[in-house]
Amino acid sequence: MFITTFSVIFTLKNLDKIKMIRRKTSMKVPPAIKFTARNLEKISPKLALRFGMALFYKPIKFPRPRREEDIYESAVKSFFQHKGRNIRSYEWKRSEKKVLLVHGWSGRGTQMNKIIEEFLEKNISVYSFDAPAHGDSEGKNTHMFEFADSIKEMEKIFGNFDLIIGHSMGGVATLNAINRGVKVPKVALIGTPNLIKNVISDFCMNLNFSDKMILHIVDYIENRYNESVYSGSSEYLGNIIDIPILVIHDEDDVDVQYSEALGIENKVIKSELFTTKGLGHRLVLANDKVVEKLIDFSEL
């Protein structure tokens, strides 16, 4: 069995029609995509890189669950522009105390609805957004730096925040945004990767790519953005920005391994680790003890 050039081009042009299989704790890659990736690498590493990067930059837009509908409807919603695309922003104004929430890859601005509700009960204003190619925002492809750009735009529109809470890749984007000029006195990271190279490694493993493809993707990203992947990693940026960082991570997170949190704690001087167990990558966002810890950390 072999892969024709036609089948590869067809797959690249029809990524919108590819449905990922969602489990309780992670997203599984369909066997057909893994088969294509692995065999394409054997035939043409260059085409395999193109195929892989098309997937790497493409989030999945999941429908908003019913549990988020009330908080969605209660927000003041608007759009701002990023590279010609409408990006959805959310505002729940209560006071001059302000918290910004940054969702992760394939997430939504209302995903941390439990956290939103509890901060609002404390008379603290909450802001969020759907990153490019997520939720109500326009686009089909995006990357971490566009998340960071959106954070900067939110600051420009709504003013400085007292705390930014980032989940998963949203945490890495938050650190990058701060390094690029966003002003905030403290940050909370939930289920956030430490090293970008580990994100790439996990991505390649899920597609059945070889270790060589990890190096190809790293080279591609470093050449495209003219900086090393390590310079965008949490442990590197955490010390540069020099503000208190709360690191929240579940021991049973299979999407972002707990070792990533330990790496941040070990390398970032002003970090504090708060560990949970049995919640995984997403349920941690709705845990009472996690929300309580976030409110205490905010000191608002």
SS3 60: coil
Residues 50, 76, single domain; the answer is: no
Are both 138 and 48 inside the same structural domain? Answer: no
Total length of the chain: 300
Domain count, the chain: 2
pTM for this model (two decimals) = 0.89
DSSP state of 76: E
Instruction: Give the contacts of 248 (CB within 8 A, at least 6 positions apart).
Output: 188, 189, 190, 191, 261, 274, 276, 284, 290, 293, 294
> Does residue 167 belong to any structural domain of this protein?
yes
Same domain, 246 and 171: yes
Last residue of one domain, picked from the residues 221, 255, 278 = 221
Q: Are residues 186 and 270 in the same domain?
A: yes
Please state, in angstroms and rounded to a whole number, the distance separating the CA atoms of residues 231 and 196: 9
- pLDDT for 26 equals 57
Domain-embedded: residue 205: yes
Q: Is residue 191 within 8 Å of 286, Cβ to Cβ? A: no
Per the CB < 8 A criterion, the answer to whether 8 and 50 are in contact is no
Q: Does 86 lie in the same domain as 119? A: yes
Assign 88 to helix, strand or coil.
Answer: strand
Q: What is the CATH number of the domain that holds 134?
A: 3.40.50.1820
Q: Is residue 40 part of a domain?
A: yes
* Secondary structure of residue 270 in the 3-state scheme: coil
Claim to verify: residue 191 and residue 277 sit in the same structural domain: yes
pLDDT in tens, 136-167: 999 999 999 999 999 999 999 999 999 999 99
177 and 203 in a common domain: no
Ordered per-residue pLDDT tens for the chain, 300 residues: 334 443 444 444 444 443 433 333 356 788 888 989 999 999 999 999 999 999 999 998 888 999 999 999 999 999 999 999 999 999 999 999 999 999 999 999 999 999 999 999 999 999 999 999 999 999 999 999 999 999 999 999 999 999 999 999 999 999 999 999 999 999 999 999 999 999 999 999 999 999 999 999 999 999 999 989 999 999 999 989 989 999 999 999 999 999 999 999 999 999 999 999 999 999 999 999 999 999 999 998
In a domain? residue 61: no
Looking at the structure, tell me whether residues 206 and 245 fall in a common domain: no
Residue 259 in any domain: the answer is: yes
* Residues 146, 109 within the same domain: yes
Range of the domain at 11: 5-56+198-221
Q: Is residue 227 part of a domain?
A: no
Amino acid at 163: L
**Helix (H), strand (E), coil (C) string for 229-265:** HHHHCHHHHHHHHCCCEEEEEECCCCCCCHHHHHHHH
243 and 170 share one domain: yes
Same domain (yes/no): 177, 239: yes
Residues 71 and 48 in one domain: no
